[in-house]
Structures are given as structure tokens and as C-alpha cells.
Chain A
Amino acid sequence: MKHVDIVSGVIGVLIGAYVLITCRSFPPDVVMKIGPAFFPEILAWGLVVFSALLVLQAILGKVSGTFEKLSLRQKGTHRILLSVGVMIVYCAILKPVGFILATIPFIVFFMFLLGNRNKFQYLWVPIAITIGVYLVFEKVLVLSLPNGLLDFIL
């Protein structure tokens, strides 16, 4: 936990420092004296102080809890990176390709990634989930989902 806490603390300090630097460019409020930078500055100082405290605790060895390391060599990490990549691609193609055509392969991918090897389920689960969600949002809730390439029939 020690290294993680040091890294987390440093990230916290960096976020706080970024906020403090950015706040300098905020205009002061001449009428009310307290401008838009007032509150974020207090918060940023709070974040910096407690992040530094976390680093200090870690250095002094006053940390508790254990966790499994997140290493680039682990299969779990590969799965996470792959899935985040696929989520970003899905997000990018959602509008141009449309909900139905983008979602079916998206579900197939995640079923495979999560170890499903039941061929029969691949035939109906992705279609059932996609059509189910589409019908609930489009027809029941009357919220529009992107039709994309299927715009001519939907």
C-alpha cells in the first residue's frame, strides 16, 4: 500500500497545485471582494494538505490494508485496457453507426472477454439486450437513441 499511497498523495498535491495556479487567472470580484477563485482555492489547499499527510503517513509506515498490484503484465490489466479502449470506440461510433448496430458487437465482445463460451447464448443474448434496451428507451420512455446507418428503416 505504501507506494500507492505515495503516488495517490502526489497526484492529489498536483491536482491541488493545478487548481491554485489556474485560480490566479480568475478575475477578482471588485464589488463583493470574494471572487470565483475563493472557494476552489480553499478546497485546493485542503486537498494539498491532506494529500501531503497521506504521503507522510506512507513514508512513516503508518498505512494499512493490502491490495493486489495493478501491473501491465497481468491479464486483468490487459482486459481493463482492452475494455476501456472498446468503450471509447463504442462512444465514438454510437452516433454515426447507430445504437443497434454498435451495441450488438459491443455486447458480443464483453461476453467473450468475460469468459462466456456458450455459443447458443451468443445467438440471442446480444440481440435480446440491444432490442430490449432500444424498445424501453425509444418506445416506452420516448427518448431518442441514435439510429445511425439504420435510419432509413427505423
Chain B
Amino acid sequence: MNVNFDLLVHSYANIFTLKVMFVIVVGVTAGIVVGALPGLTATMGVALLIPLTFGRPLLESLSMLMGIYTGAMYGGAISAILIRTPGTPAAAATILEGYPMCKKGLAGSAMSMSLFSSFVGGIIGCAIMIFMSPLVSRFALEFGPVEYFALAVFGLSVIISISGRSIVKGVMVGFFGLLLASMGLDPISGFPRFTFGFSELMEGPNFIPTLIGLFAVSEVIANIEKMLKTQKVKAKLNQYLPSWSEIKRSTSALIKGSLIGTFVGAIPGAGGDIAAFIAYADTKRSSKTPELFGTGLVEGVAATESANNSCQGGAMIPLLSLGVPGDAVTAVLLGAFVIQGLQPGPLLYKEHIDLVYAIFASMVVAQFAMQFVGMVGMRFFAKVIMIENSILMPMILVLSIIGSYAMRGSVFDVGLTILFGIIGFLLQRYDFPLSPILLALILGPMAESNLRRALVISSGHGSILFSRPIAVVLLVLAVIFLVLSFLTHKKIERRLAEMTVRDDAALP
């Protein structure tokens, strides 16, 4: 199953219609706005905006989702540069050079470079995705229940080992999420588990209301507690594209950042934040003037932004070809695909190859739309991040509640959103990471049904899990990741504390 060029070209014909182009632009704009708003992560943004895709034809829904995803990944850079607050965790590294540039009066240059490098990173990530995911899916066609179980365990172990400061808390939350995922009808016998007498829980806690509660409502509650004030932007934005000399200076950072981002994105669990920091460190290391990093260098912005946006293409590779999300945002996307009646994985390539190519095409078009919308709306987005919290938070709350309600017209789902909002707020407040719950909700059913299927095949003998080489490799890697993160956890924490102190001292 190699790249089908005829289908690739044909898929663009389907995307280049007024309706689809319109929904992509709407999705990109909404994504940038949500991504730019400090405190609203890309995960939350996509979760919050998924209800906008309900009730639309499949192609339009998928294109809009891709637009939202693309926009949200870029949007984080705007607030990172202008107010030194990353709109999304993936934009945290952009602060290192972007904000000093802004302080030097080069906000326009930093903003235009962040947009352009997001575009370049996005395009390179998409290109690699288009060529790689059919190959991976061909490989995955031979996967059986044992491999899928091992893949789910691997994905969970990676996200647990990299999220949060305490590995014990990460694992606890992972198990909690898996238990949540086991609610509802048993996948093999159909016996209802932990439904507490609610028919609405027969299929487990509904994914979208749970997600919106965990990621959006929890953030609103945190804001209500702390009453955070909005910062004012005083930058002059007079440049929409980087100059030729800036592009020439940043070419190597752009290419390397994009490749690092795609590679890191493709690893289940690792996301844009890690990719951006790796790309930044690499650009600094290979620079002739590493001592100037931190004072506002345009190539630093190019490296981080190309890396975090190319992650998108990378993260879509395991999502589309294996049905395993690369990071928290793609986990949300996976949920959105399932709502649309699509189950990503190798079978998607067999049964709905046209849709796979439509996703490819819409992602590429979304990158162009992002560049266009980003340029046209640069000043508007800079104003959006100044919206007062006392207006923004009620708005998010209403969107969260109505988004949860609209899918099934169920008040029960609204209650679920509020409940998970409180749970998410408490977990985050006490240093429990939320991403493992999200991944567990997605990977839990996959792990359980495949484990039980495998055990049925082997008449209950656990040795079947170690009978297939790929599964053994994945399970061993999962254990290595967890053990390594146990061992290195203290060292990382110490380094993080040092970095924070240094960062605070450097940037008043």
C-alpha cells in the first residue's frame, strides 16, 4: 500500500469546493483564537470546538477538524511572543526567543516568522505523513490482538512517563482513566459494569462531555479560584512575512525543526512541547553564536514553531495508520473521528481510502489557510488575547455546557461535564496530569478487547502476549520507559527548577 497519487490529486478536487474551503478557514480561525488564548491548550480547543462539526457532512467535518487542529497548534505562539504566556504548552519554547524579540521592538518580525515557520513545519510534516502513514498501515495490517494490546500499553506507558512531575501520580491517573474506560457494557459478554443504574452510562462515560469537562470546565474553575488578570499587548505589528534575509538565516533551523517535530510527533505520547525544546536546543548547539540565544534570535522562533507544527503531521501517522493517538490532541481527534463513524487504523486504509486522502488534502490546505488567516488577522488575534477573563470564562463555560448537551440532547451529559470539570480541576491542582486519563479513555477499550481476544485464542494462557516479536518489543519498551522515567524523574525535576529560575531571572 504505497502512496496513491491519482487519489491524492483527486482528493484535492473534493476539498477545493466553496463549502469545504469555507469550513477549513472557519476551523483555522477558531483554532488560532483558542490556541492564542492563554490557558486554553490545543487539546482543550479541539475538544471545545468538536461540537461545531456535529451535523455537518463527513468531508466538511473532517476538514474543519483539521483546520481547528492546525490553527490551534499555531495560535499558541501569538501569546507566547506578545505577553510571554504560551497559549498552548507546545509554544512554551517560543517564549525563549519570541518574547525578547518583542521586547526589542521586533514583535512583527517574531510574529511573521512564527507564522511562516509554522506553515513550513506543517507542510513538511504533512508531506512525511502522506508518504509514511500508508507504509505503516501496510505493516500494521498484519497486527493481531496481541500487537494491538502491546501498542495500547506502550502508548499509555509513554504518556504516563512524560506527563507530570510524579510518575506515581501519572500511573495512578492512568489506572483511574482505564477504570473509567471500563465503565459500560463489557465488550465481549455485554454485561453492564459500573453504570450505577444509569442507562446513559451503558456505553461508558460519553467521550466528548468527559473531555470538555476535564480540559475546559476545569480550566474555568481554576480561573474562578485564582481570578487571573488579562495582560495588555503593547507591541507594534507591522510585518506579515519574514524578510528574505531572516528566512535565509533560519533555513537550517526551519528544516531541522520540521524533521525533529515530525519524528517526535510520530512517537506515541510525545508532543509539540518536547519537539520544540529539542529543536531549540539543536539550533542553539549548531549555531556559531550560541551565547546570543535567549536575547531574541529569529532562528530560535523558526526552530520551535516549525517543530511544534510539524508534530501535527507526525502525530497523525500513528493515529491514521494504527489507530493510536500520538499525543493528547490527536486522542481528542480520534474521539471526533469515531463520532463521525470512522475508526482510524489499518482498516481505514482498506475501507475508506478516499477519506484518508481527503484528510491528507485538508491538512495541507489548512496549512495554507493558516498562513493566509494568520497574516490577515494578525492584529485581530493580538487583540483577542486581551479579552477580559470575566467575559472569556463565562463564554467558554456556555460553549462547554452546550457542546456537551448538543450531541445527544442530554442533560445527563451536561452533569457529566460539570462532574469531570471538578475532577479535572482537583487533579490538576494537586499535580496529577490529565493527559493519561484522555489516552486511557481511548486506549483502554482497545487494550481490554484485544487482551481478552488474545487470551480467548490461547485458552487463557498469558504466554501468548510474549509469543509475537513486535508485541514483545513494544511491551519491553513500555517497561523501559516507565523504569527510566522513575530513575530520571528527580534529575529532570531539578533541571526544570533550574530552568525556571534562570528563565525568570532573564526575562523580567
Contacts and interface: CB of A to CB of B under 8 A. Distances in A.
A67 interface: yes
B390 A53 contact: no
B463 interface: no
- Secondary structure at the B interface, as helix, strand, loop or mixed, is helix
B402 A99 contact: yes
19 contacts: A15-B179, A36-B189, A43-B178, A47-B176, A54-B168, A54-B169, A76-B226, A76-B227, A87-B397, A87-B401, A87-B421, A107-B395, A111-B390, A113-B224, A126-B394, A136-B52, A137-B406, A143-B51, A145-B406
Interface of B: 51-52, 54-56, 165-166, 168-169, 171-172, 175-176, 178-179, 182, 186, 188-189, 191, 193-194, 221, 223-227, 388-391, 393-395, 397-399, 401-402, 405-406, 409, 411, 414-415, 418, 421-422, 425, 429-432, 448, 451-452, 455-456, 459-460, 493
Nearest to A116: B390
Contacts of B171: 46, 50
Contacts of B409: 144
A32 B188 contact: yes
Contacts of B227: 76, 79, 114-115
Interface of A: 1, 4-5, 8, 12, 15-16, 19, 22, 26-27, 29, 32-36, 38-40, 43-44, 46-47, 50-51, 53-54, 57, 63-65, 67, 70, 76-77, 79-80, 83-84, 87-88, 90-92, 94-95, 99, 103, 106-107, 110-111, 113-116, 121, 125-126, 129-130, 133, 136-137, 141-145
Contacts of A91: 401, 411, 414-415, 418
B411 A137 contact: no
Given A40-B182, A76-B225, A141-B54, 6 more contacts: A33-B459, A36-B188, A50-B168, A76-B226, A91-B411, A110-B397
Given A22-B194, A26-B193, A47-B179, A129 B405 contact: no
Contacts of A43: 175, 178-179, 182
B456 A32 contact: yes
A40 B180 CA distance: 9
Contact of B221 (A22, A36, A39, A80): A80
Contacts of A35: 186, 189, 191
Nearest to A29: B189
Contact of B431 (A32, A65, A129, A133): A65
Contacts of A103: 398
Which of A5, A53, A84, A142 gathers most chain B CB within 10 Å? A84
Contacts of A57: 168
Nearest to A92: B411
Contacts of A92: 411
A1 B165 CA distance: 13
B452 A39 contact: yes
Nearest to B459: A33
Contacts of B56: 141
Contact of B452 (A22, A38, A144): A38
A94 B422 CA distance: 20
A4 B169 CA distance: 12
